[in-house]
Amino acid sequence: EPEVTQTPSHQVTQMGQEVILRCVPISNHLYFYWYRQILGQKVEFLVSFYNNEISEKSEIFDDQFSVERPDGSNFTLKIRSTKLEDSAMYFCASKKGTGVSSYEQYFGPGTRLTVT
Amino acid sequence: AQKVTQAQTEISVVEKEDVTLDCVYETRDTTYYLFWYKQPPSGELVFLIRRNSFDEQNEISGRYSWNFQKSTSSFNFTITASQVVDSAVYFCALSEWATGFQKLVFGTGTRLLVSP
């Protein structure tokens, strides 16, 4: 069964460094998302991406964040200058489309980002 | 404004007990989708069910059942004859037409502990 994959599973970085989190969505899906979950808290929406552009973003997704689909398979989240409070699990998700049975988002296993 | 409330932070049961996880939502939209996701200790988010706002039929899938009631804005999840493998955090989530169904708003989750 196709699944969303994410790399790396765990990333440790120093404050102020740039990180890129990578995702490979399910191949026939058209909509892509990033969410984050600070340890022990709820899952929060960051950004949605469709047709090579951001369709919606949350207030968390400030100028330090950017997303890109550099080729036909990868979807990346870049944090330009990491802060301690960026430490969280980052989930990538994809969705097939807007058809009747296409509203569920399928999540990857997550990347745990630790900023020291 | 959209909001999902899961008032139960943690529930502990003994195997074979039935357990109901509550979810109450707020939305101004008349067209929306509700979801349940499971997050086992390994951390991934597993899609369980989707329900649209026009379909109030209850659903049963094996030991799982869902009760959607628009009159009380609730979408509760019952596990019958719980098993240790059901131990996880369960999230209820909402997606609205007003956002093009582009983001999921999650509740804070209910941690279910099933002991042998």
Dump pLDDT digits (tens) for B14-68: 999 999 999 999 999 999 999 999 999 988 999 999 888 988 888 888 999 999 9
> Looking at the complex, does the CB of residue B54 fall below 8 Å from at least one CB of chain A?
no
Dump pLDDT digits (tens) for B56-100: 888 888 999 999 999 999 999 999 999 999 999 999 999 998 887
Contacts of A41 in chain B (CB under 8 A): 108
Contacts of B43 in chain A (CB under 8 A): 89, 109-110, 112
Please count the other Cβ atoms lying within 10 Å of the Cβ belonging to residue B71: 6
Quickly tell me which residue has 């994809």 as its tokens: A94
- Using DSSP, state whether B32 is helix, strand or coil: strand
Quickly tell me which residue has 């909001």 as its tokens: B3
Amino acid at A32: F
